[in-house]
Structure 1
């Protein structure tokens, strides 16, 4: 395979098969810590990112924000369900399902047993980089009266938050993308802090429900049984609300 390169962060550079749908992924380059660039393969229909070994940790703060910008452009795309098993785009071996913990919560990903890299959903990347916070029990109960079922941001499983405050599949807590968490993450990255705002869970629920109503006809035609037939997860659902805080 021939790999082209470009110097503009976020510009397409190469292609590799998606671990799930096998369609060519879109390759984009982002700023690396110290110097150089990191090239990541992204499947927008599957909402997944392939990181070669150690690439996630090598992203510079500016690279993280540029990737956030790119994901924002595609955050409303209808996510197609992942196949099982997933396959490494480098060696074709089946990927192993894994869980990891950060202070922002637990997130799921799939890694190559030969250490070629790992495949992560958008939400897992957001959790890993600290762009989220965990909802309190009271906030979960309030959302449950309005939303009822969400998709786990850690593993993608459906969570009936009327009955559970954590995912019964991977035990991940209910997390949300919000401005305070974005500010905290940016402070950790050594970037200038964005202005403080409060994201009201009521407002988030209203926005998610309105978004679902606008797409209801399409979702009825294309939705898969279970996960993708319900409300989008709270991390991806909040991207539009906080993106203005990151615009320069």
Structure 2
């Protein structure tokens, strides 16, 4: 299904990322507005590996020109006006625009990176240093200009002033990579348990069949074949 950007109304790019359960999840991205449309619950369905993949994609498009978000943002599913909202994560406060009909939410790349711990808010001392060197900056939330000598947050979308911190990036990447590795090992272990259980069920069935038909030879179990068969059945679900 084609998704139009809630801000610029251009067709959003569809990218696939790892799902936290199995398979992949498709996300809609607008590189002109540097934002993501998450259908309902998609943001929490990303696997740690998927978050890393998305971070790398955002990084790859970091130098592309960005336009400010429109004053009015509309849901790409029902066309109703999106409501501005805020939440708190480990990286600090982040904002987004959500559909009141629960179709999803629209989040800029920078706000997504705050949510996932790649970006942090500036401390008071860092803000004071920045004020002495720079008069205004562009908001990572909506793209509007912020006069940092007067405002500590965007006057339009209320997004705090943030910075991409290399330490925060390294810490977040290490955490997601560790969780992804543990998740992959756990998936393999669960698959192995399922194959063994299936083989036990096959052996039980064969014993019952031999008891009923003593002269008929039984099949020999094949763990590899069973594993391939089970993986295919899981992928097709």
Superposition TM-score, scaled by structure 1 size: 0.66
Matched, 1:22 2:9: yes
- Give the number of equivalent residue pairs: 179
Aligned to 1:208: none
Q: Deviations over 1:41-82 (max 9, x none)?
A: 011111111001111111111111111111112111111222
* Larger gyration radius, structure 1 or structure 2: 2
Aligned to 1:50: 37
Q: Is the CA contact (8 Å cut-off) linking 2:48 and 2:177 kept in structure 1?
A: yes
Q: Which residue among 54, 57, 60 is the counterpart of 1:73? A: 60
* CA separation of 1:22 and 1:167: change in aligned 2, threshold 3 A: closer
Deviation at 1:137, TM superposition (A): 1.8
Deviation at 1:162, TM superposition (A): 2.4
Q: Deviations over 1:10-34 (max 9, x none)?
A: xxxxx31111121111100100113
Deviation at 1:169, TM superposition (A): 4.6
Aligned to 1:195: none
Matched, 1:150 2:151: no
Q: Deviations over 1:161-185 (max 9, x none)?
A: 2233344455544321111111222
Q: How does 1:1-248 map to 2 (within 5 A)?
A: 1=1, 15-169=2-156, 171-191=158-178
* CA separation of 1:20 and 1:174: change in aligned 2, threshold 3 A: closer
* CA separation of 1:80 and 1:171: change in aligned 2, threshold 3 A: closer
* Higher alpha-carbon deviation: 133-142 or 35-44: 133-142
Q: Which has more helix, going by share of residues?
A: 2
State the SS of the aligned residue for 1:150: strand
Q: Is the CA contact (8 Å cut-off) linking 2:68 and 2:143 kept in structure 1?
A: no
Q: Is the CA contact (8 Å cut-off) linking 2:153 and 2:161 kept in structure 1?
A: yes
Q: Is the CA contact (8 Å cut-off) linking 1:105 and 1:172 kept in structure 2?
A: no
Gaps of 5+ in 2: 180-237
Aligned to 2:227: none
* CA separation of 1:25 and 1:167: change in aligned 2, threshold 3 A: closer
Q: Is the CA contact (8 Å cut-off) linking 2:83 and 2:99 kept in structure 1?
A: yes
Q: Is the CA contact (8 Å cut-off) linking 1:108 and 1:155 kept in structure 2?
A: no
* CA separation of 1:21 and 1:164: change in aligned 2, threshold 3 A: closer
Q: Is the CA contact (8 Å cut-off) linking 1:107 and 1:153 kept in structure 2?
A: no
CA-based RMSD = 2.0
Q: Is the CA contact (8 Å cut-off) linking 1:137 and 1:165 kept in structure 2?
A: no
Q: Deviations over 1:117-173 (max 9, x none)?
A: 011111111111111122222222222222221123344443222233344455544
